[in-house]
Amino acid sequence: MNHKLSPSLLAADFGNLERDIEMVNNSKADWFHVDVMDGVFVPNLSVGTPVIKAIKRLAKKPLDVHLMIIDPDRYIQHFKDLGADILTVHYEACTHLHRTIQHIKELGMKAGVSLNPHTPVSCLEEILSDLDMVLIMSVNPGFGAQKFIPGSLDKIRKLNELKKKHWLSFDIEVDGGVTLDNAQNLIDAGVTVLVAGNTVFASDDPVLMIQKLKTFK
């Protein structure tokens, strides 16, 4: 199965957001990755409702929305209304994770769960069959352009082993420090969705960079 690529708009030029969205629309990318930060769960703030509305209006590909916020249950309907196609919450932010996942799916979105670098994949074993995606954070969440944490590869391998053990088909997404240098290793470890922000938007030719990131098998 060919992997998907979800360019992270956190690294886009917000002074030229329409231009960058059109670039992704016309590229070989599969999704738009949209990070939502509240300044509490992570030490940073990111896009809010007006920006996501604008993204949805312009985007011709699915919105892969990653909530890095406390109490995400309060906002599931809100992000459905904004146009999220995939909604990912953090394991560390959900008291009743199964209920949260069921709510996301009842509203017609695909449901993902993200794990911070310190959280083992074993925490998800009892709920993996309910998930459409698991997002492995390969940096500490909150800021772009961070260096990849090498131990993330072993974590991805462990998750992929669980996926195979239980005959499951959820996507394994990785976010943080994804580059041309480590993309092949990530895919070999079991990743099916690459999130790339700075690698795409800071390159001299973002369309070509997206094409290169899609060529790995």
The DSSP secondary structure of 129-159, one letter per residue, reads GG-SEEEEESS-TT-SSPPP-TTHHHHHHHH
Residue 145: pLDDT band with limits 50, 70, 90: low
Catalytic: 175? yes
| Of 20, 64, 171, 175, catalytic | 175
pTM: 0.94
* Paired residues of 193 in beta bridges: 4, 173
pLDDT of residue 40: 83
The 10s digit of each residue's pLDDT in 52-106 is 999 999 999 999 999 999 999 999 999 999 999 999 999 999 999 999 999 999 9
Catalytic: 71? no
| Of 20, 30, 35, 132, catalytic | 35
Reply yes or no on whether the pLDDT at 146 is more than 70. Answer: no
Residue 182: pLDDT band with limits 50, 70, 90: very high
For residue 77, the tally of other CB atoms under 10 A from its CB is 12
Looking at domain 4-215, which CATH architecture does it have? Alpha-Beta Barrel (3.20)
